[in-house]
Amino acid sequence: MDHENAQSPSVWELICEDWKVHGKDFSRPGFRAMAVYRFGAWCMGLRFRLLRAPLSRLHRFLYRYVRNVYGIELPCRTKVGRRCFIPHQSGIVIHPFSEIGDDCLIRQNVTLGAASRDKPAGAPKLGNQVHIGAGAVLLGNITVGDGAKINANAVVMTNVPEGAFVFNPPPKTLKNPRSKKTKQTEEQEIQALPVS
């Protein structure tokens, strides 16, 4: 029995781990989202319908609160490992069929979703210790290996090997239209400004 408990921590132990990862700060939106997720996943496992029904209603209310106030959509059907860290809020959308491993970090404006309506169940699966930068989008039935890092604003639609770094295309630098003006022209513009 002790071995089973070690393999499968209780919902309270999972929430305590999440609390520590989020700096032991109950007010952080990421922790609250994780706590509501843990509660919902626990409710789904209850066998007795009379107990599960009212608790599931409570979870739906809490889920909608987290979604609408903090902008974090984390359905209880998603499989999330231990110590998932969400340091910031807003724009986080996680597909119900996604899987997230242990010790992952998910920043703001991240999407884990389906690539098309034709395959709505195809969702990303993250290994352990995966870090996803702000604004990254992972789409489709893809696998991200352990320890991979996805850079900010990257769009990922293919498998990512273990320990890989994924970067978005480098930005293009456009010529500044003001660079055509001579220094003398700029000085003339400054002199023409009204003096207060």
**What CA–CA distance (Å, rounded) separates 194 from 190?**
9
pLDDT for res 193: 63
Radius of gyration of the chain (CA): 23
Judge whether 157 lies within some domain. Answer: yes
192 domain-assigned:
no
pLDDT at 51: 87
Residue 188 lies in a domain: no
pLDDT given at position 5? 46
Domain extent, residue 74, equals: 2-166
Answer whether residue 97 is part of any domain: yes
**Contact call for residues 130 and 165 (beta carbons, < 8 A):** no
| Mean pLDDT for back-to-back runs of 10 residues, the chain (196 residues) | 62 97 97 98 90 94 98 97 97 97 98 88 96 97 98 96 91 70 62 62
Angle between the N-to-C axes of helices 11-21 and 29-44, in degrees from 0 to 180, rounded to the nearest 10: 170
Q: Is 77 in contact with 95 (CB distance < 8 Å)?
A: no
In the chain, the number of structural domains is 1
